[in-house]
């Protein structure tokens, strides 16, 4: 069965991403076409990139990098739950992405973003970064507003119609994740 990671893309204290990711995970849990797992980059305690070799070499020297590599390599596709910070992705997510290379290749990714402008600029930024990792990003995405989907910018209360949007994005992630398996077997 296809394995999809739902990655919490913020390490900030008091972050909204954990609530959003758990909501996506609950929706995904109703599906039977893939298995889903929450992955919190905070759990890996990644410092600022501290590997002496290029990630493309796969020659990792640090235990935290090897653990992160093993986790990310185990998935066929990803859903990135990302805030928008200053028109881009959070630094912790960018750092976590940069630790690896081959583990991301020829896999699919979808997005759930949040922010004052629904996080859409963070997704555009993330699409550019993931293109360098040879990740196929799907068109459908979920954008959540801090004004309408959060009470006082903190308590997550998504509008009911977002569940349909999450499933449309997951449909594409699962389809593309499955299609790309053939490339990874070469």
- Residue 61, Cβ density class (10 Å: 0-12 exposed, 13-18 middle, ≥19 buried): exposed
Neighbours of 107 (CB within 10 A): 26
Q: What structural domains and CATH numbers belong to the chain?
A: 3-184 (3.40.50.360)
- pLDDT value of position 185: 82
Stated as kind and residue range, the H or E segment containing 161 is none
Low-confidence ranges of the chain (pLDDT < 50): none
Residue 173: name the closest of 129, 111, 124 by CA.
111
DSSP string, 99-110: T-SGGGTTEEEE
Distance of CA 181 to CAs 9, 136, 175, Å? 24, 12, 10
Give the model confidence (pLDDT) of 67-80 as tens digits: 999 999 999 999 99
Name beta bridge partners: 115: 145
- pLDDT value of position 69: 98
Written as six digits, the tokens of 100 are 């690896």
Give the model confidence (pLDDT) of 146-166 as tens digits: 999 999 999 999 999 999 999
- pLDDT value of position 46: 98
């Amino acid at each position: 069965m296809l394995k999809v990671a739902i990655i919490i893309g913020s390490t900030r204290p008091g972050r909204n991403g954990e609530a959003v990711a758990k909501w996506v995970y609950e929706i995904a849990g109703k599906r039977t076409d893939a298995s889903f797992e929450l992955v919190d980059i905070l759990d890996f305690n990644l410092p600022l990139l501290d590997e002496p070799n290029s990630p493309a070499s796969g020659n990792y020297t640090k235990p935290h990098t090897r653990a992160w590599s093993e986790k990310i390599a185990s998935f066929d596709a990803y859903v990135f739950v990302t805030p928008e910070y200053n028109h881009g992705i959070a630094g912790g997510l960018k750092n976590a992405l940069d630790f690896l290379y081959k583990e991301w290749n020829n896999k699919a990714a979808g997005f759930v973003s949040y922010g004052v402008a629904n996080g859409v600029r963070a997704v555009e930024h993330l699409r550019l970064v993931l293109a360098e990792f040879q990740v196929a990003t799907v068109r459908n995405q979920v954008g959540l507003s801090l004004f309408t989907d959060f009470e006082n910018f903190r308590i997550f209360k998504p509008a009911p119609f977002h569940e349909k949007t999450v499933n449309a994005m997951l449909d594409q992630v699962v389809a593309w994740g499955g299609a790309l398996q053939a490339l990874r077997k070469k």
